[in-house]
């Protein structure tokens, strides 16, 4: 991928799938559909809740969180008190759950956040928070199935556990044959160039810390062989 594809500033590398509707690189999408069919046979509706996300979308998520328009959560999924946080703390807490614009794996077309559509009651909107996958949670059964099966289709959980960067996101599945090479292509220079001219709130805080963000929030994942 080129630097614009890596940072989500173009979508030339992704394909739009229609049934269900989602966007991903072709190979990743086909692998997901194969996994989805086997999940269906096991009684689950593996739904692609969030897939390809362009730079503009990631920027909007970041800016909304920076001004308190979207909530910030702790590791247990509890809402933080925004009013008592300094701008530096806000940046820290955004990075616990959301990537820097340009630094999101979702820009690569290799990542799929999943939920079980068959478990959803009328009007329920998935939150992608820990309580949904915990014992007794609405998606607990799906994640037991995923534990045993995602590796068969080339997927892994890059945020399987907390190791000082992103909080655990078991719903976030990554297609290793394409995402691991993409990770090797991302650099501090590419990230810096992507956000330097962007209308990003807190940029004056993030840019001086770009080396740390790259190390702890981009490269710091649970590798496929360590699942």
* Confidence at residue 219, expressed as pLDDT on a 0 to 100 scale: 98
Q: Please give the domain boundaries of the chain with CATH numbers for all domains.
A: 3-226 (3.30.1380.10)
In degrees, rounded to 5, the angle at the alpha carbon of residue 69 between the alpha carbons of residues 121 and 161 is 65
Give per-residue pLDDT as tens, 179-200.
999 999 999 999 999 999 899 9
Please state, as a whole number, how many other Cβ atoms lie within 10 Å of the Cβ of residue 83: 6
Ramachandran quadrant class, 57 (left: phi over 0; alpha: psi -120 to 50; beta: rest) = alpha
Give per-residue pLDDT as tens, 5-24.
999 999 999 999 999 999 99
Rounded to whole angstroms, how far apart are CA atoms 172 and 167? 11
Rounded to whole angstroms, how far apart are CA atoms 75 and 196? 29
Q: Which of 159, 167, 163, 158 lies closest to 92, judged by CA?
A: 167
Give per-residue pLDDT as tens, 65-83.
999 999 999 999 999 999 9
Instruction: Take residue 227 and report the two structure tokens written for it.
Output: 């699942």
Give per-residue pLDDT as tens, 104-126.
999 999 999 999 999 999 899 99
Q: Which of 92, 102, 99 lies closest to 190, judged by CA?
A: 102
* Confidence at residue 215, expressed as pLDDT on a 0 to 100 scale: 97
């Amino acid at each position: 991928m080129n630097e614009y594809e890596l940072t989500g500033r173009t979508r030339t590398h992704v394909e739009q799938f229609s049934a269900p509707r989602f966007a991903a690189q072709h190979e990743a999408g086909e692998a997901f559909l194969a996994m989805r069919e086997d999940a269906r046979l096991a009684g689950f509706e593996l739904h692609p809740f969030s897939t390809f996300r362009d730079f503009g979308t990631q920027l909007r998520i970041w800016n909304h969180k920076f001004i308190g328009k979207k909530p910030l959560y702790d590791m247990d999924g509890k809402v933080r008190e925004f009013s008592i946080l300094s701008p530096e703390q806000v940046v820290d807490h955004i990075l616990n759950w959301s990537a820097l614009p340009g630094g999101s794996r979702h820009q690569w077309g290799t990542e799929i956040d999943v939920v079980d559509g068959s478990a959803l009651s009328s009007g329920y909107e998935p939150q992608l928070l820990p309580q949904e996958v915990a014992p007794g949670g609405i998606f607990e059964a799906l994640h037991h199935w995923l534990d045993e099966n995602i590796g068969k289709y080339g997927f892994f959980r890059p945020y399987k556990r907390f190791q000082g960067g992103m909080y655990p996101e078991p719903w976030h599945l990554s297609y290793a044959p394409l995402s691991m090479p993409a990770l090797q292509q991302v650099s501090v220079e590419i990230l810096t160039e992507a956000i330097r001219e962007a209308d990003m709130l807190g940029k004056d805080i993030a840019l001086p810390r770009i080396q740390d963000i790259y190390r702890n929030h981009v490269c710091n994942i649970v590798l496929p062989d360590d699942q």
